[in-house]
Structure formats: structure tokens, C-alpha cells
A and B are shown apart, each in its own frame.
Chain A
Amino acid sequence: MTATRVLIPADAPRSAPLGRLLAAELRWVLRRPRTLVMLGVFALFPVLIAIGVVVADRSAGPGAGLIGAIAGNGLVLPVAAMTLALALLLPLAVAMAAADAIAGETAHGTLHGLLISPVGRLRLVGMKAFGVLVVAVLAVTVIAVVGVLAGLVVVGGAQGQLITLSGTTVGLGEALVRVALVVGWTVGQLAAVGAIALAISSVTEHPLVVLASVLGGLILFGVLSAIPALEWLQPYLLTTGWSAGVDALRDPLPLDGMAESSLRALCYLTIGTALTTHHILHRDA
């Protein structure tokens, strides 16, 4: 009849182990069909670019710009694919994960189940941020890995070396290091998007609101940065430095663009995380 005892031992566990919570969140994210479909689409993305480049190369000679630089220079492909995907596809993926993470759980009526278990509200923020970050890392990694493989196999050329935009040649090892650098930088930018998306996700029970806000925000930023009179706004817009990934293809490697945009992303990340935490701590679930 232990159940009739009212005394709660002071040392009774008050929370499930953090590792177990994160593992459960990871399983939940990866079991979701839309996550898997999304990763599949990201795997196809560099392959489609590679095929497009090869076909164009055969018919009409090398094109201009970044895509043109891929022709005969496969190791440019992963960097080009990440840069192109960062414009819209990757933020969309991260916004979707963030929308499901809190607004989706509220809509399904599962969030209050977690809170009653209980999962502390701060831990809940940590769990959800972790889930979104995992999606960002997986999406970028898939593009990079498939990009490298498709670049070497489909595009080929340059004897496994990378011809930089500056005209010099770097070896496979260093080229891969540069691709990894762009992966890390891209994940940082997406973390900023994810933090803002989570902040929106924590005040609504409609996942669509999160998607619409993030996409609307990106489009708005694009419009603002195209208006010359608003040039003073540029340093505050997250999207301003989003072409900095291409710097990895230059020699010597200029790091100031990526460093500056990473700093900007850190500001957005801090604001987003603070807002999410505040909302979760004060909301009625």
C-alpha cells in the first residue's frame, strides 16, 4: 500500500534524464514522414544541378557565374548547392521543423502531455531547439555529401582537385575542408532562422503561421535589401551575408564575410532563443 503514503521522498527524481528526452525528440523528428521526404528532396537537389550543368555544358559551352563555374570543376557543386538552397529551401525546411516542434505539438494536444509528465519548461525549449538543429544539420550535410559525390562522379574534371574562382588549384583534402567550413557556416545561419521560427512557433497553435512568417520575412528582407534608399538597413538583415559561402571558393580564403554574417546570425539566435524561452515560460499550455 505504498500508494497511500502522502510523503514524497525529497530525493525522488523530478525530471527524466536529459539524454533520454533528447533521444525521444530525435526519434520523433526522424520518424516524421515529412522529415524523411524533405531529406530525400535535399539529396536530389545537387544531383539535379549536376545533371543540368552537364547537359548545358554539352549543348552550349560554359554558362556564366557560379553555376558556370561548376562545369568541369565538380568540387564547386556542393558549395553552389548549399548557397542556392540557403536562399529559400533550407530556411523552409528549418521553419517546418520549428513549426512542428511547438505549434504542431500544441495543435495535436501533445504539448500539455509533455508538461504534465513533467518536462520542465526550460528543458522543453532545449529539447525543441535540439530537434530543429538536428534537422538543419542533417539537411545541410545531405546536400554537402551528395554534392561532393555528384560533383566528383557526374561532373568530374580537374583530377579530383578544386579550381578556385581565383584561378588557383587546391587539393581534394583542402577542398573538403572548405566544404565542411561552408556546412558549419550554413548551419549557423539556419540556427538563426530556426530560433526565430521557434519563437513564432511558441505563440501560435497553427504551424502554418510559422511557415508563412518565416517565408514572408525572407521575402521582405529580400525586398528591403533591393531598395537603395534603405541601404542603412543592410547590416541588420539576416539575409545580407548569405552569399558569403561562395568565399570558400576563393584563394586565399577570405573569412571576414562569413565571420560577419555568423556574428549577425548569433544576434538573431540570441533574440529568438530569449523570446522562445520567455513565451514557453509564460504561456498557458
Chain B
Amino acid sequence: MTPVGEIDVAPDAAGARSGPAVAARAIGLRKVFGRTVAVDGIDLDVPAGSVLGMLGPNGSGKTTLIRMLLGLTRPTAGTAELLGHAIPKESARALPHVGALVEGPGFHPFLSGRENLRRNAAAEPLLASREIPAAVDAALERVGLAGAADRRFRGYSLGMKQRLGLAAALLLPRRLIVLDEPTNGLDPAGTRDVRRIIAELHAGGATVLVSSHLLAEVEATCTHVAVLQNGSLVAAGELRSLLEAGTGGLVVATPDVELALRTLRGTGATAYRAEGDEPAVVVDGGGPPAPETIALLVGAGVAVHEARRHRANLEDLFARLTEETP
């Protein structure tokens, strides 16, 4: 036990000095339920201080991956680390610093929101007993539930339940917050609140791992993205560089869409009709440079009304990564 402990402490100490470190790490994580492969050998680093958005269609293995990282589910193969500690072996070292909302908020219907949180707080190693009432009040206030704190959980709306689950993760300052579908059932105001809370956590230096199927949410709040598909990681990295990797093309607004497509395809470029009301074509990057493309179109008699850089958003990226190629 002692030598293992020393080895594990060493990278921590180094990380404290050299800045960036890894808050959560999956190494070859794999989980098989019967004949279903839920997670198929995922390697993923969640950099300390980042907000990592985990994306993927339903059933892509997001929740199973999160549950393995938290030590709730035993991996079939591979290892997980949280804050530099092996999971589940050293869970007791890491988990006090981790707040999590996994698989929907779990609370007891016959207790009020405040009583439920007190019960959660009693189990938190880092909260002293005398700090509990204040910590519970602060968490309720932070998620906008102070007014309904003394109502029974049974009577809460879906959004209020979700807010209470968030409050449990925020009972004390954490180093890592894991939120599995935090905006489920929330109204637009609630979604904004979640976005604000994630931004506050990020500003305070905490690492946030958030899974979502709401791409706009992720694009608005995340610094990093990991995209899962059928239990495998299909892309991971900084949001900005992932988006930039998918650009370089042109959007050309023109009423002569057919002629433009024929001309462009004649040169071997990949071009397709743009979605939307305005008639336009999209030319993928990798073909001739933009001035040549425009000159080519004008030379062929295409009326070019406007040409601009094609800015990929997360939705395009996600669609490209997770949908079958047409």
C-alpha cells in the first residue's frame, strides 16, 4: 500500500507546480453488459480547469463512461482516474472533491428539498457538522430553490428536481463537477441558470465534465468536447480547434445553384446545396483556393451574390462525426 501511495502522490505534487494536469482520465475503459458493448475501449483526458462537454446520441455510452469514472460501475477492462487517484481503489481520496449529478436527481419523496440536502451533506467528508446548515442554504440559493426548500420533494416539478440534484453537487467547493444531462426537464430560465453556474465554476478554477445532447448548450459553455458514438470516442479536443478543423470551405450565394454545382463538380471539388431559404452552394475546403473558385464560377456565368467563409458550428461537426456518411 505504501509504495503505491507514494507513486500516486508524486504526479499530484508535480501537477500542483506545473499547472495543467488531468482532472479525470479514462485509459482503455470498456464495459460489456451481457452481449452489449456499452463502452468500447475509451481513452480520454479531462484537462484540469476545462469544461468538457461529452456529446453523443442516446445509448452512445456517455452515462456508463461517467459511472465508471466515478467508481459506480466496474469496468470490464481498463482503468479510471479521478484527480490523480485510481478508481475505485482510491475513491475515498478523490470523491470528497467531486460533485456529481448522475442519471437524474435521486431524492426521497417524503422529505423536503432541504432535508434531502441535509442528508446528502451529512455524508460529505469535507463538510464539518456545524457548516452543514449554511452549506445547504447556500446551495439551495445558488440553484434558485430557496423558496421551495421546505416543500416535499414529492411535489417538485421536473425542473425543481433537477435543480435540487444540481444543489447536491454544489454543496461545497469542488475540484471536479460531473453533470450528466443537467438541463433535462429545465425551462429556458433553468437552462440559463445551469449555463451561468457552469461559467461560475469554470471561473473559480474547477473542472466541469458535462454530458448533454443539447449541442447549443455545449457550444456555449464548453472549452473542450468529446464525442461518443456506439461506445467509442470519435473525437476529443479543444472545441475551437475541432471546429476550425472542419472549416476552410466557402458559402456562395447564387440563384444559379444547378449551374454552380455542375461547374464546381467538374473541377473535382466537393460541393452541395446549402440548407436554408437563400439559394446557395457550399464548397468544402480542400479544393482550389477561394479566389480561384469564385473566378471559376463567375467565368462559367454563375451570378455570385455573396461569398463567405463557411463557419462550422458544433451541430455540423456532430452531424459529420456521428451520422452515417451519405
Contacts and interface: CB of A to CB of B under 8 A. Distances in A.
A285 B72 contact: yes
Interface string B126-167: 110100000000000000000000000000000000000000
Contact of A10 (B9, B95, B174): B9
A7 interface: yes
A9 to B, nearest CB: 10
B16 A5 contact: yes
B15 interface: yes
B123 A117 contact: yes
Given A1-B204, A27-B119, 17 more contacts: A3-B174, A3-B204, A5-B16, A8-B83, A12-B125, A12-B126, A13-B96, A13-B126, A28-B111, A110-B107, A112-B72, A113-B106, A116-B98, A117-B95, A118-B123, A118-B125, A120-B92
A164 B95 CA distance: 59
Contact of B120 (A6, A15, A27, A113): A113
Given A110-B106, A113-B106, A115-B71, A7 B122 contact: no
Contacts of B102: 112, 116
B111 to A, nearest CB: 6
Given A6-B15, A16-B122, A32-B110, A118 B104 contact: no
Interface in A89-117: 108-117
Interface in B1-25: 9, 12-13, 15-16, 21, 23
B280 interface: no
Interface centre among A2, A3, A10, A17 (most CB of B within 10 A): A3
Given A4-B205, A7-B15, A13 B106 contact: no
A20 interface: yes
Contacts of B94: 8
Contact of B95 (A7, A17, A116): A116
A14 interface: yes
B284 interface: no
A113 B117 CA distance: 11
Contacts of B13: 7
A284 B84 contact: no
Given A15-B92, A112-B106, A8 B12 contact: yes
B83 A6 contact: yes
Interface residues of A, number: 40
B108 A8 contact: no
4 closest A-B pairs by beta carbon, nearest first, are A109-B106, A4-B205, A24-B122, A117-B123
B160 to A, nearest CB: 16
Size category of the binding interface on chain B? 35 or more
A269 B127 CA distance: 34
Interface of B: 9, 12-13, 15-16, 21, 23, 48-49, 67, 70-74, 83-85, 91-98, 100, 102-111, 115, 118-120, 122-127, 129, 168, 173-175, 204-206
Contacts of B83: 6, 8
B120 A3 contact: no
Nearest to B98: A116
A279 B120 CA distance: 23
15 contacts: A3-B173, A6-B21, A8-B84, A12-B96, A14-B96, A20-B122, A24-B118, A28-B119, A31-B111, A108-B109, A109-B106, A109-B107, A110-B106, A112-B72, A116-B102
Given A5-B16, A118-B125, A113 B92 contact: no
Nearest to B178: A116
A82 B124 CA distance: 40
B105 A116 contact: no
Interface of A: 1-8, 10, 12-17, 20-21, 23-24, 27-28, 31-33, 108-120, 282, 284-285
B69 to A, nearest CB: 11
A32 B49 CA distance: 41
Contacts of A116: 70, 72, 95, 98, 100, 102
Nearest to A109: B106
Given A3-B204, A28-B108, A118-B125, A112 B12 contact: no
A118 B122 contact: no
B93 A8 contact: yes
A21 B121 CA distance: 10
A109 B93 CA distance: 23
A21 B123 CA distance: 6
Contact of B110 (A5, A31, A282): A31
Contacts of A114: 123
Nearest to B5: A10
Contact of A109 (B104, B118, B126): B104
A108 B111 CA distance: 12
B97 A8 contact: yes
A200 to B, nearest CB: 21
